[in-house]
Chain A
């Protein structure tokens, strides 16, 4: 059967990983290629690269880096950030990305999901959603979680899947950065309405949070995190051993 996936997320700005950290034997912790190689060697099942650059030069730098990563790392790569058109899909897929994650670009132009799914297949289109509780509702936020769109997250995700999104990344703004565990309530609400893989993001503070995630919500396919991996607070091989000891199927 399919294993649960552990996915480190690398935010890249002007060619460097933001929040780069100290790893044993890694001289340049903000070098995206070196960090990606480190994670690939240490049990990551997939990598997410998020381009947080705004400038045109930065974007070119990002695709150059992506190419270098794809030349050296042979696990699935998902790329997000600044994906607004099918041309953006084309640009990163040519550099070796396997999946492309859309967020604000799909909010501005919901047809982006169906157009990309038709061209590249559902399995290629990841809908990433930043959601937060507002007035008893899970609300979609745009612009990196700064702007309330007023849209209901559950409806938005349902529609996204109907349009061809093959995977959902659900980032809970309420739990993000708090390190008290994933947002199980919000994730459960999403798992109830979609039949595509759901990736949990936001809130992981330690190994036990991943155990709780997969045990409480068997329908969640993957856990995504950035800082706890980057800061070495959770090492993926240790995490996977603990998951396996708890009867959760992982790749080792």
Chain B
């Protein structure tokens, strides 16, 4: 069973529907016990980093997500949920993340040509930079749907990037901790296949 972490940020309807579509058993929950019992955890997120990080901490779920991840449970962060996995974000100040991945989230605007629009919204092609289980059904150049204004610069954990005036980290993985900057639940068959690949993983024991 997959637990989608509900900490009062955004609409989880499409995400839950997409998991149902691929035959995965998913529950949306803000209950620590449910997260602990789950086989894998999905951390969604939209909106501002500071607000989301605060809600995740105040709900007590940040600790649960961190400890479950450290126990080897597969964890996938989506969009802002991926950004929250990092040490910090520079979105309007400096804000601490969960620190499960090394690195920081930066403003996209100064790093790309001024004729490109921010947010980075739309379908963009994936460049796979490191083969990974999460991307086992993905072909180089497959398009996925992005909506974001801040980004992770490619680093040691990057497994895929997208080109938008600079290389934007599209997917990350460090052991059982994974993330997608794009929305797999809005990326058609390619996105469903990424969720499918995640669901097929097993917890490290």
Binding site for B on A (CB under 8 A): 1-3, 5, 40, 45, 67, 70-72, 74-76, 93-96, 98, 121-123, 166, 195-197, 221, 251
Contact = CB atoms under 8 A, between A and B. Distances in A.
Contacts of A195: 117
Interface stretch (B65-73, B93-101, B130-138, B184-192): B184-192
B17 A197 contact: no
B47 A98 contact: no
A95 to B, nearest CB: 7
A124 to B, nearest CB: 9
Which among A95, A195, A221, A251 has the highest number of chain B CB atoms within 10 Å? A251
Q: Is the interface of A mostly helix, strand, loop or mixed?
A: loop
Nearest to B16: A71
Contact of A98 (B18, B21, B163, B186): B186
A197 B143 contact: no
A2 B120 contact: yes
Given A74-B191, A76-B145, A251-B143, A1 B123 contact: no
A98 B164 CA distance: 22
A2 B112 CA distance: 14
Contacts of A72: 17, 21
Nearest to A2: B122
Interface size class of B (residues with CB under 8 A): 20 to 34
A224 to B, nearest CB: 14
B127 to A, nearest CB: 12
A5 B192 CA distance: 20
Interface string B31-66: 000000000000000110000000000000000000
Interface of B: 11, 13-14, 17-18, 20-21, 46-47, 117, 119-125, 143, 145, 147, 163-164, 185-188, 191-192
A76 B13 contact: no
B52 to A, nearest CB: 13
A1 B163 contact: yes
B123 A40 contact: no
A95 B47 contact: no
B123 A2 contact: yes
Contacts of B187: 74-75
Contact of B17 (A45, A70, A75, A166): A70
21 contacts: A2-B121, A3-B124, A3-B143, A5-B122, A40-B188, A45-B123, A67-B13, A70-B14, A71-B17, A74-B14, A74-B21, A74-B187, A74-B188, A94-B11, A96-B11, A96-B17, A98-B186, A121-B46, A166-B119, A195-B117, A197-B122
A166 B121 CA distance: 10
Contact of B18 (A67, A74, A166): A74
A25 to B, nearest CB: 18
Given A95-B13, A96-B17, A1 B188 contact: no
A1 B13 contact: no
A251 B46 CA distance: 24
A23 B18 CA distance: 26
